[in-house]
Amino acid sequence: MRLLIATDAWHPQVNGVVRSLEHMAAAGASLGIDTVFLTHADFVSVPLPGYPEIRLSCATRAAVARRWDGLRPTHVHIATEGTVGYATRRYCLGHRRPFTTSYHTRFPEYLAARAPVPESWSYAWLRRFHGAASGTMVSTPSLERDLAARGFTNLMRWTRGVDTDLFRPDAGAPDPLAGLPRPIFLFVGRLAVEKNIAAFLSLDLPGSKVVVGDGPDRARLAALAPDAHFLGTRTGAALAAVYAAADVFVFPSLTDTFGIVLLEALACGVPVAAYPVTGPLDVIGGTDAGVLDPDLRKAALAALTIPRDRCRAQALRYTWAESARQFYANIAAAHGTAGPQARHGTPSRTIGLGTGTDAPAW
């Protein structure tokens, strides 16, 4: 298999989409799968106003066609619905090439938070975009149910994972948060309005609030909570050390489709406080590794009593190896070829999966 992944989300962005795709490419190599990427770097692009790390590509079907012969993919996955994803979709439809997509981001809710665009309009466009795919991957059961109720079809399950060697309870020596009043309540993620971080910063909590990440909303949030500690972007061992030094991870988002940061916090032994919505419901719900409550303050305070080993045990259930098995099995099934599910046993759950008729064999 030579898999082309078309994505508008790529470096220098730091987010769950980029991390997930990187892990899939690394795991694919161990399975003998050659993964190539089509990103904004392959086209003329400009920075998104107010959000320069996101690039807007001038990608067209003709531009994709010029790249195609050099890439020579046997399978295609379109990861995002931006200009790169849309141009690749047009090329595939024009050449009768089957492809899969994935639903990472609740763009209707994100757009509605910034502009007076009805969510029904955005969902109608997304339904049309993904409806042309042989399969659309979603990360959780609750997201699958929600999209199915909105008329999305050919839904396939693709969970996420966490590096439990990097993210672990003893990752915080020396303690990067030493000297801050306890307990320490932590948020990690993109500092943007759709993350609902203001809900966390406005909570009346003892101790300290720590925010890791950057984004267009940083100045407003810093002004809103001058006593909070904004550490900027942290990655790798430096990020793991901050997680491990915290007492509770607070996840205020109402729109994330999964939340890899939830797994990273749990792997470091940090309990989670969140709203009972898609993502937290699937990762935390019914596990006693966190507290889900419409009252986020109540959840944050209650989470302080949760044993750290219980959190770690929940994170160990999620691996990038299993995530990759599902991902490549879905792609193989959607293209009508044999894949990891045939070799590893349990297939991914699918709903009404369509298959391509002229896809090359793996």
pLDDT of residue 114: 75
Write the burial class of residue 165 (CB in 10 Å: 0-12 exposed, 13-18 middle, 19+ buried).
exposed
Which one of 275, 295, 315 terminates a domain?
A: 315
Tens of pLDDT along 150-190? 999 999 999 999 999 999 999 767 899 999 999 999 999 99
**ω before 47 within 30° of 0 (cis)?**
no
Q: Which domain holds residue 123?
A: 2-161+320-344
| 90 & 208 share domain | no
Q: pTM of the full predicted structure?
A: 0.88
Whole-number Å distance between alpha carbons of 53 and 349: 35
| 310 & 198 share domain | yes
| 17 & 139 share domain | yes
Residue 44 is assigned to a structural domain of this protein = yes
Tens of pLDDT along 81-127? 999 999 999 999 999 999 999 999 887 887 777 788 899 999 999 99
Q: How many domains does the chain have?
A: 2
Strands 290-292 and 184-188: unpaired
Residue 213, token pair as written in the block: 């990440």
Q: Is 288 helix (H, G, I), strand (E, B) or coil?
A: coil
> Would the pLDDT of 212 be above 80?
yes
Residue 169 is assigned to a structural domain of this protein = no
The CATH number that applies at residue 110 is 3.40.50.2000
Write the burial class of residue 69 (CB in 10 Å: 0-12 exposed, 13-18 middle, 19+ buried).
exposed
| 340 & 279 share domain | no
Residue 350 is assigned to a structural domain of this protein = no
pLDDT of residue 204: 98
Sheet strands (E) in 58-169: 75-78, 100-102, 135-138, 155-157
| 243 & 114 share domain | no
Q: Is 37 helix (H, G, I), strand (E, B) or coil?
A: strand
| 340 & 301 share domain | no
Give the angle subtended at the CA of 18 by the CAs of 14 and 253, to the nearest 5°.
65
Tens of pLDDT along 12-52? 888 889 999 999 999 999 999 999 999 999 999 988 776 67
Residue 277, token pair as written in the block: 């919505």
Residues sharing a CB contact under 8 Å with residue 31, sequence separation 6 or more, in sequence order: 324, 328, 340
